[in-house]
A and B are shown apart, each in its own frame.
Chain A
Amino acid sequence: MVKELPVVWLQAAACTGCSVSLLNTASPTIRNLLVDEVIPGTHINLRFHATVMAGSGEPVIKVIEDTSKKNKLGYVLIIEGAVPDDSEIMFGAIGERGNKPVSMAKRIEEMAQSSLAVLSVGTCASFGGISAAKPNPSGCQPVRTFLESKNIKKPLVNIPGCPPHPDWIVGTVATILLRGLPEADDLDDNLRLKSFYGKLIHENCPRRAYYDEGKFAKKFGDEGCLFELGCKGPITYSDCPTRRWNTHTNWVIGAGAPCNGCTQPEFPDAIAPFYEKLVDVEVGGM
């Protein structure tokens, strides 16, 4: 008997980049995720994902409403995007109820309340990200802050990155399926799994030797460390240098561009300008 794990994936103040990044998963493939037993004996039953699901309109809204009623504490809620304010202006809505739009905040609140656990996918959901960047026109909050404001206590894991690498999303889900919800020790202060976000990019960068010998690129295309062109690798936690992107094809610094620090809570406001050298930062070995 195959165990079905219901998953509801809601998009809030987002750009769908996290979902598209997930489509790039190489192993398991998307077919493996959608229809196969992704871990022997368990099938992820993706009930709602607006970008891939066949249905539209009221019948699919009924799917999420039924899931929260009939699968109490039995489904995982994945949020892509920050939570926009709905107190005076409805900046974001998903579907209707009684001919009236329902705000994203209301949907997330309702769905989180009955969920087993919540995964914040991407930097907007995890920390606010671009959606909450100054002056935060739509009053966006990270999922963690939003749930705290509603006094909803659920196991929560952040999977930041703008977008996150598909391995980070799939790997987090696989970790939960194989080993259960992460222990406090598995996560850093920002609720990121240490297994993916445990080391600074600067520690594993193939251009690190240039940095140590003081050879810096002055313009794009030059040999050397990209620190003076604005690289945020020295303050950014992720395994990009060793994992690489798009089926391990390349990565940001591999394309001669500076890291823009997208897995960090400081992205973008406290990290920009992206093409200016970091100041007032203690960098190891400097």
Chain B
Amino acid sequence: MSRVVVDPITRIEGHLKIETEVKDGQVVEAKSTGNLFRGIELILRNRDPRDAQIITQRICGVCPQSHGVAASLNLDNAFDIGGNIPSNGRIIRNLIQGAHVLQDHILHFYHLAALDYVDVTSVAKYEGDNPDLRSVKDFISRGELGPFVPRYEGDYRLPEKINQEATAHYLKAFEVRKIGHEMVSIFSGKIPHSVGIVPGGVTSTPTIDMITAFLWKLRILQEFTDNVYIPDVLGIASVYSDYCAVGTGCGNLLSYGAYDLEDNNPDQTIRQRLFKQGSTSMNLGYKPLDINLINEQVNHSWYDNETSGLHPSQGNTLINFGKKEAYSWLKSPRYSGEVHEVGPLARIAVTYASGDKRVCELVDWALGHLKAPTSALFSVMGRHLARALCAKLLAENLEKWLLELKIGEPCFIDYEMPDESRGFGITEGSRGALGHWIEIKNKRIANYQAIVPTTWNASPRDDSGRPGPIEQAIEGTKVKDKNNPFEIVRIVRSFDPCLACAIH
């Protein structure tokens, strides 16, 4: 038996350690440790409830926009205006969140995940005239290779030409995702930490030039998604086809749904959304969402056991560091008592299970291309593929929504803040199901709780000792070379973890 530790796991957001016990080349135990606590839930207490929208975005600088949306839905709900948001306000929220998530998926595949598969040093032999690659070649010839070396060595399987092409795409993707942020900025002022989404709708007012600029920036992301991103994911999945069966995980998937498609429905759990609310498992049967079935367990987390098992509307964050059996700052959220994975795979699988025509078409096409069964979705490559299909769906729908905006119509509805109230806001961040819960007393925040996508995915063992989704995905995996444990980091990164989010 030997201990294999990866600390830090890089090319994710934040501070994550994975500790494993490997016996006869196979992981027998995996532990996921979140390494930074800030206490944003405690910081939110006693503040003006409206400030939650600004402060919760600072939970994460990679996915701030989704926190802005969750906080605003939460406050809409607490202020009892969830059914009154003007169409323009609803649509612009979708445009801001959708553009942000679209660029985030591109960023994840190229800048966070790709270097596990693509060998940048192959550009040393490049003889063509692509200026980006000439520039990388010069860089390599100077001999100082940070930040691309050191790295795990060994399992890079792409042919030289494909490696070089993929490196060019890695560089191109920096430009493309930047344009995605420009799209967000058009309606939301700036990003990271944007300002446009507020309870009641949005602050900005659409004009023709904003719509036109958004459209033509979007076209760049659409083209890149169709002609570069999706082909690259399919290409890497065929060369690393064994990863279509590695990292299966817990097999239960949960989605809160996102991108509101109808006005006047105050109930977020059944409101019509692009991605559907619900849960599913490996049989791809569909179950509707019941948010009363969520709780957070802390017996293996550095919080007081008295606070374990609470629904987030009653949740508490009480530090108890050094507690026996505990090994992480993450809590362990569970749904219906079971371990659930969240993320693009859950969004796609739940929407597929609900019978959505377009999603079924896309999933069947992609799996057909790989000649893989639906069970292949539950894998490292399945997660990358689902993420790319989420990007494709957003790229298609953003254009449709943009053209539904009505110039001159309102984007915001004023409201009276109640003295006392409760609320919740649920949506899908890039990385999965995101929920905020608030309790207001005397027009101040009495309690605020967030359960964030990576809280689910990177959670430690729960009160019954069941490992979290990433831990389960690693356990049982064969590790060929424990000095270069590619398998572990490839599994972890397929979840696109965000630790600042997860612990907050």
Contacts and interface: CB of A to CB of B under 8 A. Distances in A.
Interface stretch (B7-15, B335-343, B388-396): B7-15
A79 interface: no
Contact of B189 (A23, A91, A162, A245): A245
A73 interface: no
B420 interface: no
Given A50-B10, A246-B182, A247-B178, A274 B150 contact: no
Interface stretch (A52-60, A195-203, A206-214): A52-60
Interface in B404-441: 410-412, 414
Contact of B500 (A16, A26, A34, A46): A16
A17 B193 contact: yes
A117 interface: no
Contacts of B42: 135, 137
B182 A249 contact: yes
Contacts of B58: 15, 17, 129-130, 162
B171 A48 contact: no
Nearest to B187: A255
B428 to A, nearest CB: 19
B191 A273 contact: no
B350 to A, nearest CB: 28
A268 interface: yes
Nearest to A247: B182
A130 B8 contact: no
B189 A92 contact: no
Given A54-B120, A246-B190, A255 B196 contact: yes
A66 to B, nearest CB: 10
A136 B490 CA distance: 35
Interface stretch (A141-149, A152-160, A256-264): A256-264
A16 B38 CA distance: 13
A15 B59 contact: yes
B500 to A, nearest CB: 5
Contacts of A129: 58
B450 to A, nearest CB: 13
Contacts of A45: 144, 146
Interface in A232-270: 245-247, 249-258, 260, 262, 268
A181 B13 CA distance: 31
Interface string A1-43: 0101010000111111111110110100111001110000001
B410 A221 contact: yes
Interface in B23-57: 35-40, 42-43, 47-48, 50-51, 54-55
A48 B146 contact: yes
A224 to B, nearest CB: 13
A61 B489 CA distance: 16
Nearest to A47: B146
B186 interface: yes
Contact of A2 (B142, B171, B190): B142
B321 interface: yes
B203 interface: yes
Interface in B189-213: 189-196, 198, 200-205, 213
Given A35-B136, A89-B319, A255-B196, A272 B47 contact: yes
Contacts of A162: 58, 193
The prevalent SS among residues of A at the interface is loop
A273 B11 contact: no
B59 A56 contact: no
A264 B411 CA distance: 30
Contact of A256 (B13, B64, B146, B203): B203
B146 A57 contact: no
A11 B15 contact: yes
Given A15-B500, A16-B500, A250-B189, A50 B8 contact: yes
A29 to B, nearest CB: 7
A3 B277 CA distance: 55
Interface residues of B, number: 89
Contacts of A54: 10-11, 115, 120, 147-151
B11 A53 contact: yes
B174 A55 contact: no
A43 B150 CA distance: 18
A207 to B, nearest CB: 13
A258 B203 CA distance: 9
Q: Which of B136, B150, B188 has the most CB of A within 10 A?
A: B150
Contact of A46 (B12, B35, B147, B213): B147
A241 B37 CA distance: 34
B43 A246 contact: no
A31 B48 contact: no
A276 B139 CA distance: 51
Given A29-B175, A219-B414, A220-B198, A92 B36 contact: yes
Nearest to B198: A220
9 contacts: A15-B59, A46-B146, A49-B147, A57-B6, A90-B321, A130-B38, A131-B38, A221-B205, A275-B51
Shortest beta-carbon contacts, A-B, top 6:
A17-B61, A137-B39, A255-B189, A245-B190, A246-B185, A257-B195
Interface of B: 3, 5-15, 17, 35-40, 42-43, 47-48, 50-51, 54-55, 58-62, 64, 107, 111-112, 115, 120, 132, 135-136, 138-139, 142, 144, 146-152, 171, 174-175, 177-178, 181-182, 184-196, 198, 200-205, 213, 319, 321-322, 410-412, 414, 489, 500
Given A84-B37, A92-B35, A275-B48, 14 more contacts: A15-B60, A17-B192, A47-B146, A55-B150, A56-B152, A57-B5, A95-B8, A101-B17, A104-B36, A137-B37, A219-B414, A257-B203, A260-B195, A275-B51
